[in-house]
Homo-oligomer: A and B are copies of this chain.
Amino acid sequence: MERRPTIIDVARAAGVSKSTVSLVLQNSASVRAETRAAVRAAMEALGYVYNRAAANLRSSGAGLIGLVINDLRNPFFTEFAISLQMALSERGFAAVLANTDETPALQAQVIGAMIEHGVSALIVSPAYGGGETGFDAIARAGLPAMQVLRRVDGRTDLFPFAAPDYPAGSRLATEHLIAEGARNIAFVGGLEGRMVTEERLAGYRATLAGAGLAPLVLPGRSGRSMGRAMARRLAEDHPEVDAALCFNDQVALGLLSGCAEIGRPVGPGGLRIVGFDDIEDCAQSWPPLSSVRCDIAGFGQAVAATILAWVEGDVTPPAEDRPAVDLVIRASSAAQPSKER
């Protein structure tokens, strides 16, 4: 496999200097139209490919953004990552993406690798857990970086935090369930002590307290299988519970199929269920699942815009940004669904 042609080869072929070729590459106005055409033709003929790494060596600004996600298998995070990546792509940036599987050590490793690869900024949905997280490495490299969806590193001046307004979401959902007549509302799923869980719990607790109702919190690993198992446990240990606010949609959908399994009806007259995140499957389950909509796609695009403004325009984002959420009511919690947008 022979060497790739460089601008020098192109210059020779077009009968101009390498500087001129460089100007053409940058669409400079100060190059004659015919010269430009000749250079372009030479590039085409030689099969020239631009070497961005070499260019960045001189004038840095790689056009690469690192995206580090704790759990890409969860559709909520997937959707976030995809919408972010596509928004970046539209603006000519590429995304280096890595899944850390909730492992801080892995996270530190991939962050290190990304820094070496010359990313101009990082967006991290951090893994929980102690030890080396990689944020120190980012600080050392002096790169712009945001924490999204979870706050793990306290230095929000260095690493601004952005996530949907979870407390408001669980408040909306709890108010809705109370308005629908539920009196024994359980909160299902979420690992205790984590910020996301605490935030989603906060709105629930506050609203119940305001209505003089008692909370029942059943935490746990938040997957489909946990929700499914919880259906049986709820029926056996807490038969009085008439509504469940779930930590996320995975738990809620699991609970839904668990209820189908044990033959317990879901919805008005049965167990009312509300999920959190409003992933795509919510609208397609049976019964369709009510959920707190975080507009994660819009959030991803917003984060893309924020990070690009930081990188390109030097606009530091606020230390904390909590976009609003809303509640989508479907048959799993009410007879009268809200209109789909």
Residues of A that sit less than 8 Å from B by CB: 1, 4, 47, 49-54, 56-57, 62-64, 72-73, 75, 78-79, 81-82, 85-86, 89, 92, 94-99, 101, 106, 109-110, 113-118, 140-142, 223-225, 228, 253-254, 257-258, 260-261, 280-281, 283-287
Task: State how many angstroms separate the Cβ of A57 from the closest Cβ of chain B.
Answer: 5
Q: How far is B60's CA from A54's CA once the two chains are assembled, in angstroms?
A: 11
Can you list the 8 inter-chain pairs with the closest CB atoms, starting with the nearest? A257-B286, A224-B284, A260-B286, A97-B97, A53-B53, A52-B116, A47-B140, A261-B286
Q: Given A82-B72, A98-B95, A53 and B286 touching (CB < 8 A)? A: no
From B73, B78, B94, A73 is in contact (CB under 8 Å) with: B78
Which residues does chain B contribute within 8 Å of A98, judged by CB atoms? 85-86, 89, 94-95
Q: Is the interface of A mostly helix, strand, loop or mixed?
A: helix
Task: Tell me how many chains of this kind the complex includes.
Answer: 2
Known pairs A53-B118, A95-B96. 4 more at Cβ < 8 A?
Answer: A53-B117, A63-B117, A72-B81, A85-B99
Q: How far is B117's CA from A94's CA once the two chains are assembled, in angstroms?
A: 8
Which residues does chain B contribute within 8 Å of A96, judged by CB atoms? 64, 94-97
Chain B's closest residue to A99 (CB) is B82
Chain B's closest residue to A223 (CB) is B284
Chain B's closest residue to A101 (CB) is B86
Q: Given A96-B94, A96-B96, A284-B225, A52 and B118 touching (CB < 8 A)? A: yes
